[in-house]
């Protein structure tokens, strides 16, 4: 399946697309090289164009790759508590493909504050796609899909906050006065 068709499926008809995703064979490498590394680059590229800061863009990209993997580990660990099964590839698929709307919204980094609001809407839609995919990919019981999604979202928020701290540390540079400040 082409990346454009997959994007269209996840955005327009996620219920049907999750059935296809669940049936496809995959590896960590195929998910990363065929999906995550491509879509996760959208926001950092837009950030680079809007801020001209290669350091910020690279830091955001690397952290996106790491956070996706760590959140997939969390999803895999939590699934049995919600009637689901452990299967890391399915967890990575669920995490990676549910991030689609949020990653696409990374282009809104070009719009400044308005872009942040549009990105928030896309992130909420990403949570919804996760909710739809959880029963199929993790075999979570449908009645437990909402609490499973909420717990994963909370974990994602915590990871995002931690990544923000790492991100700010990665983009700090010493000034002549001995203190630290953000690079622009």
pLDDT tens-digit profile of 69-116?
Answer: 999 999 999 999 999 999 999 999 999 999 999 999 999 989 988 888
Domain presence at residue 128: yes
Domain presence at residue 183: no
Domain count, the chain: 1
For residue 39, what pLDDT is reported? Answer: 98
Full domain range(s) for residue 99:
3-171
User: Model's pTM, two decimal places?
Assistant: 0.89
Domain presence at residue 179: no
Distance CA 82, CA 141 (A): 7
Domain presence at residue 138: yes
Domain presence at residue 75: yes
Domain presence at residue 43: yes
Q: What's the pLDDT tens digit per position in 147-156?
A: 999 999 999 9
Domain presence at residue 181: no
Domain presence at residue 83: yes
Buried/exposed 143-182: b ≥16 CB within 10 Å, e otherwise: ebbeebbeebbebbeebeeebeeebeebbeeeeeeeeeee
> Which of residues 86 and 182 earns the better pLDDT score?
86
Q: Which of the four pLDDT bands, split at 50, 70 and 90, describes residue 141?
A: confident
């Amino acid at each position: 399946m082409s990346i454009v068709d997959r994007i269209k499926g996840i955005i327009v008809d996620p219920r049907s697309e999750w059935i296809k995703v669940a049936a496809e064979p995959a590896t960590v490498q195929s998910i990363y090289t065929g999906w995550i590394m491509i879509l996760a680059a959208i926001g950092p590229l837009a950030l680079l164009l809007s801020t001209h800061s290669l350091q910020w863009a690279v830091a955001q990209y690397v952290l996106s790759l790491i956070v996706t993997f760590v959140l997939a580990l969390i999803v895999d660990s939590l699934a049995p508590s919600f009637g689901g099964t452990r299967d890391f590839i399915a967890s990575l698929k669920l995490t990676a493909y549910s991030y689609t709307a949020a990653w696409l919204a990374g282009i809104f980094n070009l719009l400044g504050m308005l872009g942040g609001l549009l990105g928030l809407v896309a992130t909420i839609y990403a949570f919804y796609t996760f909710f739809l995919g959880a029963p199929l990919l993790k075999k979570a019981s449908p009645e437990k899909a909402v609490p499973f999604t909420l717990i994963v979202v909370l974990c994602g928020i915590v990871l995002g906050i931690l990544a923000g701290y790492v991100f700010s540390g990665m983009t700090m540079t010493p000034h002549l006065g001995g203190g630290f400040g953000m690079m622009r």
